[in-house]
Chains A and B, each alone.
Chain A
């Protein structure tokens, strides 16, 4: 098992499909217009029902670095935290990614979430470099868990080795 203990809290790496996980909430990397679109967005719509997009339409938008919350329809999770991370090599990728992860964690705390899952934010279509992403995410989440709060466990769901390996290296480095 790949994990890092932070006091009585836990940061763990898993190989799971994030939209099917039994967690209180998971994070979805959304665009500014809060459209679920394809990829994980399509899985959320097809598995969770279209009520999720309806709720997002009412919210209306989400600037880069921010996060908004909806219910998760008939998915196993209770909440989806839609966080707008940096995309397509935009300026200050690192600062924006850190802020996005912090926003998602803050929304989770507001909802009293105990178990939260993140995907590797933006490392596929959105071209965020894996080394930067794994470093920033692991550090930001670890720092947050060290500060206390309702969150007990944060999971990073990386089904492919391409993502799994660099996250594993980062998590074990500081374990």
Chain B
């Protein structure tokens, strides 16, 4: 060993590593013979074939070096032979390790399948992430999101009042859609059979998935509830390698389920949320008798199998393929049930190859969506997935994971694929036939076919001034027309500088902002609006379709936007979102 003294951080990491060693981990640490059989399994190797630093064994060797230098006699005696570090790591080396552990591996575990020695590289990579985060070395997005989950209780920093407000909003919409006073979203209902936990992305950026799930529960006559706390099924501890955070997140769900006295927790379609809540969280939290848990895919499938809901697959006629979330499939063994459900609710399903346990990562796994500094590399590594999707000729990629939705949407845009992403909850809600279903309250008439659309008010935006910012003229014209038809006074800008000047001069009630513009882009414009006295309080609805948006959500240079819509924009959704943001703002002001 070397004469150079170890730094305090390195000592802390070594101390922490000792706590992570168990038989499985040690097996992976000592088992690798560097045969290279796993190389081609990795989407990073396929995208960067000449870069040996992308190979699974190189990534895992970073933990091995630490292990061998400190916990294996061979490393102490023959460091040169086993690849242990002769010189202790310096604090500067930790930045390089950070880029390897967070920026070149999505912990997808695909390489594990190809290893004859049973080496689990993803587990080792997660350990390296955990050692680094323990001493504060992590991408900014990971730090921001982890702190939100530790302190606010969910990974997107959704405040309790905003969560309750969104659930009430969806509940009111459901009631209006169905014209049924009992078609609401129950909150904190003690003794309900099911507690439904969701991904905060649903609250913040895709609340209609909550309404769709509520519609399905209602149609099935389910006795269910949403909790007011402990509702986040995601778990950044899985990504950051912090088992403490992992246990804390999972425990909040388990304890809430016990407090409400429910029979089981149903986990909405989120791959890592399912793995963390259903499997890993039980160990991290030291639960001896966890509450039963299931994926909402199972719940929906059972409703169809048992005849509790009726579905009409002809309502989903497009050609569809299915993307397996790595956490659901490879790590959870959850392959056939989503396919069975998909075949029940859609007409034309085309398998993507490879699939199931062998499917490639969407490249947004392992928390990659929160690390904007690695986006270009991530998108390059997504080529293999893009090629496979294109080969199916599908118009819709179905997946059972919110993270995969974002990952797939990014790669679809980057590789200009002609398709969109949907989840099973979208398809089941769309295929639902309510006329022959036994209703919880018989006397109430329900429309024969339910379309999940907000009820249109004549001019819901009357008296409001809206600034539309978009560099594309046709999009701008479309947005202006939609807002004007809804009664708003609309002004517009074609670039960032113009937007800032107009916002200052006209002080609009709401700004609809594109994030991808030449010159001063939308992210800079947004940060400037938020940091300028006159404009800081103006609510912003981001209308975009680009990965830049992740930077705003995850790096959080300023408080996040009030709303988000992906392109192409749905007219009704846009007006409903804008009205909701403005109403919510008024309530807060009062």
> Taking beta carbons and an 8 Å cutoff, which residues of A are in contact with B?
17, 37-43, 45-47, 50, 87-91, 119, 124-127, 159-162
Contacts and interface: CB of A to CB of B under 8 A. Distances in A.
Does more than half of chain A's interface fall in helix, strand or loop, or is it mixed? loop
B228 to A, nearest CB: 12
Interface in B150-207: 150-153, 157, 159-160
A160 B105 CA distance: 32
B12 A47 contact: no
B157 A39 contact: yes
Nearest to A41: B147
A37 B159 contact: no
The 6 closest A-B pairs by CB, nearest first: A88-B136, A124-B150, A39-B151, A39-B147, A89-B12, A38-B144
Contact of B143 (A90, A125, A160): A125
A97 to B, nearest CB: 16
Contacts, number: 75
Given A160-B252, A161-B255, A162-B248, A42 B536 contact: no
A46 B159 contact: yes
B534 to A, nearest CB: 12
B315 interface: no
B390 interface: no
Nearest to A49: B537
24 contacts: A37-B556, A38-B143, A38-B147, A38-B148, A39-B147, A41-B147, A42-B157, A42-B559, A47-B159, A50-B536, A87-B136, A88-B134, A88-B135, A89-B9, A124-B147, A125-B143, A125-B147, A127-B136, A160-B248, A160-B251, A161-B251, A161-B255, A162-B247, A162-B251
Contact of A17 (B9, B135, B157, B160): B160
A125 B536 CA distance: 29
B8 interface: yes
Contact of A50 (B134, B143, B251, B559): B559
Nearest to B150: A124
Interface in B121-162: 134-136, 143-148, 150-153, 157, 159-160
B301 interface: no
Given A39-B151, A160-B251, 18 more contacts: A38-B148, A38-B157, A39-B152, A41-B147, A42-B148, A45-B559, A46-B559, A50-B530, A88-B134, A89-B134, A91-B8, A124-B245, A125-B143, A125-B245, A127-B134, A160-B248, A162-B247, A162-B248
Contacts of A43: 151-152, 157, 159
A87 B9 CA distance: 12
A37 B144 CA distance: 7
Contacts of B247: 162
Interface string B244-257: 11011001100100
Contacts of B134: 88-89, 127
Q: Which of A43, A47, A87, A126 has the most CB of B within 10 A?
A: A43
Q: Which of A42, A87, A91, A125 has the most CB of B within 10 A?
A: A125
Size category of the binding interface on chain B: 20 to 34
B322 to A, nearest CB: 34
Nearest to A20: B160
A32 to B, nearest CB: 12
Nearest to A54: B533
Contacts of B159: 43, 46-47
A89 B135 contact: yes
Contacts of B530: 50
A38 B145 contact: yes
Contacts of A50: 530, 536, 559
Nearest to B236: A125
Interface string B1-27: 000000011001000000000000000
A90 B160 contact: no
A46 B134 CA distance: 28
A39 B236 CA distance: 13
A76 B134 CA distance: 34
Contact of A39 (B148, B160, B244, B536): B148
A38 B556 contact: yes
B311 to A, nearest CB: 40
Q: Which of A45, A88, A119 has the most CB of B within 10 A?
A: A88
A55 B491 CA distance: 33
Interface string B87-105: 0000000000000000000
Contacts of A90: 8
B536 A124 contact: no
A123 to B, nearest CB: 9
A39 B155 CA distance: 9
B136 A39 contact: no
A100 B548 CA distance: 38
B559 A124 contact: no
Contacts of A119: 151
Contacts of B152: 38-40, 42-43
Contacts of A161: 251, 255
Nearest to B153: A159
B297 to A, nearest CB: 29
Contacts of B9: 89
A87 B536 CA distance: 31
Contacts of B251: 160-162
Contacts of B145: 38
Contacts of B151: 38-40, 43, 119, 124-125
A165 to B, nearest CB: 12
Contacts of B245: 124-125
Contacts of A91: 8
Q: Which of A50, A89, A90 has the most CB of B within 10 A?
A: A89
B415 to A, nearest CB: 32
A37 B248 contact: no
Interface in B289-345: none
Contacts of A17: 160
Contacts of B136: 87-88, 126-127
A27 to B, nearest CB: 13
A42 B556 contact: yes
A42 B147 CA distance: 10
Contacts of B559: 42, 45-46, 50
